[in-house]
């Protein structure tokens, strides 16, 4: 039986102020005059991401632990002795986002030499996962291999016309466009990136589709500033696509907030009144999908700053011919 005790969670000096401010902000958003807020974390696979948001913890699962928040910004955690050291050394720097994206760049580079024609999407997805595991174990960007997790959705050829196609048994053929949606998790924070590639030489139509999506992404990116509404950002990309021959082929929202969960609650779509604020992170992922032909999507993670928005994803966005 684990020895359980309560201790006062004190983040590193560089994080104490931000965690205290975060707790106070939680209270400001609650209008019930509460004296205490308690988060009781569950166990895998039902871990409560709110627990980690409130505490700023990025190491360990803290299964069955409780976080006790007070109006003055205090954060006390009921935990086991096994988790205590992880709590004491936790930090939440923005470099987490950059580190996760580095892993996606490394994996894409490693896959360039992998066999493509004649294998199916499931096999390519497995290859992607294995390459990332090997890269993670050799890279200082990852503290532990268990922290580097990749999720992949891959649609080749006509299957790419389904935005989130689950990799299946269809064989990859010359001329296929492949929509690859994947990302790594680091210190519990997620990334989400999509690239579209072509097996062999791209046709004029494939290039036209990709160029349209690239321009739509850039139009939305330019609008991702404090004070902009989510629906106006979505409209910037959607209106550009609807002025092209692909009108009506952008069939999902532009993006979503991202953090401890891949889809972290906020949405960039035509019905959202959410107002963008500094330090929010959203995906910018327009797409064009033509049934029977295929699809193109380009997705990057974007940090909202007080000035210009900043791409957190640095992988090349051009159409790659494999």
**If you count them, how many residues does the chain have?**
322
Quote the pTM value: 0.65
CATH code assigned to 95-321: 3.90.230.10
- Quick one: pLDDT band at residue 166, thresholds 50, 70, 90? low
Q: What is the pLDDT of residues 102-112, one digit of tens each?
A: 544 554 554 45
Of 115 and 132, the one with more pLDDT: 132
Average pLDDT over residues 15-25: 78
How high does pLDDT run on average in the chain? 75
Order of strands, edge to edge, in the sheet holding 310-311?
281-284, 300-303, 310-311
Q: What is the pLDDT of residues 213-242, one digit of tens each?
A: 999 999 999 999 999 999 999 999 999 999
Determine the pLDDT at residue 214. 97
Query: For 120, which DSSP code?
Result: B
Domain boundaries, the chain: 4-88, 95-321
- Quick one: pLDDT band at residue 146, thresholds 50, 70, 90? very low
The alpha-helical segments, DSSP class H, found in the chain are 13-28, 49-55, 81-88, 95-111, 121-138, 204-223, 230-242
Say whether pLDDT at 275 is over 80. Answer: yes
Which of 137-141, 165-169, 176-180, 301-305 has the highest mean predicted lDDT (pLDDT)?
301-305
Q: Is the peptide bond before 2 cis (omega within 30 degrees of 0)?
A: no
- Quick one: pLDDT band at residue 303, thresholds 50, 70, 90? very high
Say whether pLDDT at 173 is over 90. Answer: no
Tokens matching residue 147: 């922290």
* β-strand pairing of 267-268 with 310-311: unpaired
Determine the pLDDT at residue 145. 31
C-alpha 126/C-alpha 35 separation (Å) is 49
Q: What is the pLDDT of residues 81-104, one digit of tens each?
A: 544 444 443 444 444 445 445 544
C-alpha 206/C-alpha 214 separation (Å) is 12
Say whether pLDDT at 167 is over 60. Answer: no
């Amino acid at each position: 039986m684990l020895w359980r005790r309560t201790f006062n969670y004190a983040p590193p000096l560089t994080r104490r102020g931000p965690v205290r401010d975060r707790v106070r902000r939680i209270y400001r958003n609650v209008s019930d005059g509460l004296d205490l807020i308690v988060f009781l974390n569950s166990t895998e696979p039902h871990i409560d991401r709110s627990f980690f948001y409130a505490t700023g913890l990025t190491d360990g699962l803290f299964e069955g632990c409780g976080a006790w928040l007070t109006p003055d910004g205090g954060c006390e955690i009921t935990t086991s002795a096994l988790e205590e050291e992880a709590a004491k050394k936790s930090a939440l720097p923005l470099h987490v986002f950059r580190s996760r994206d580095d892993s996606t760049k490394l994996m894409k580079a490693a896959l360039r030499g992998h066999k493509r024609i004649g294998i199916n999407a499931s096999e390519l997805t497995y290859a992607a996962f294995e390459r990332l595991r090997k890269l993670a174990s050799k890279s200082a960007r990852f503290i532990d291999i268990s922290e580097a997790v990749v999720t992949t959705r891959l649609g080749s050829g006509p299957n790419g016309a389904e935005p989130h196609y689950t990799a299946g048994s269809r064989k990859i053929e010359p001329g296929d466009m492949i929509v690859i949606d994947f990302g790594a998790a680091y210190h519990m924070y997620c990334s989400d990136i999509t690239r579209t590639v072509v097996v062999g030489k791209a046709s004029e139509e494939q290039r036209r589709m990709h160029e349209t999506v690239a321009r739509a992404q850039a139009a939305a990116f330019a609008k991702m500033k404090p004070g902009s509404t989510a629906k106006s950002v979505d409209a910037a990309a959607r209106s550009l696509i609807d002025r092209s021959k692909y009108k009506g082929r952008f069939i999902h929202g532009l993006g979503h907030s991202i953090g401890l969960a891949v889809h972290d609650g906020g949405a960039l779509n035509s019905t959202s009144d959410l107002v963008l604020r500094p330090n929010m992170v959203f995906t910018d992922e327009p797409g064009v999908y033509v049934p029977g032909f295929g699809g193109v999507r380009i997705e990057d993670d974007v940090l909202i700053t007080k000035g210009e928005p900043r791409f957190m994803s640095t992988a090349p966005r051009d159409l790659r011919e494999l």
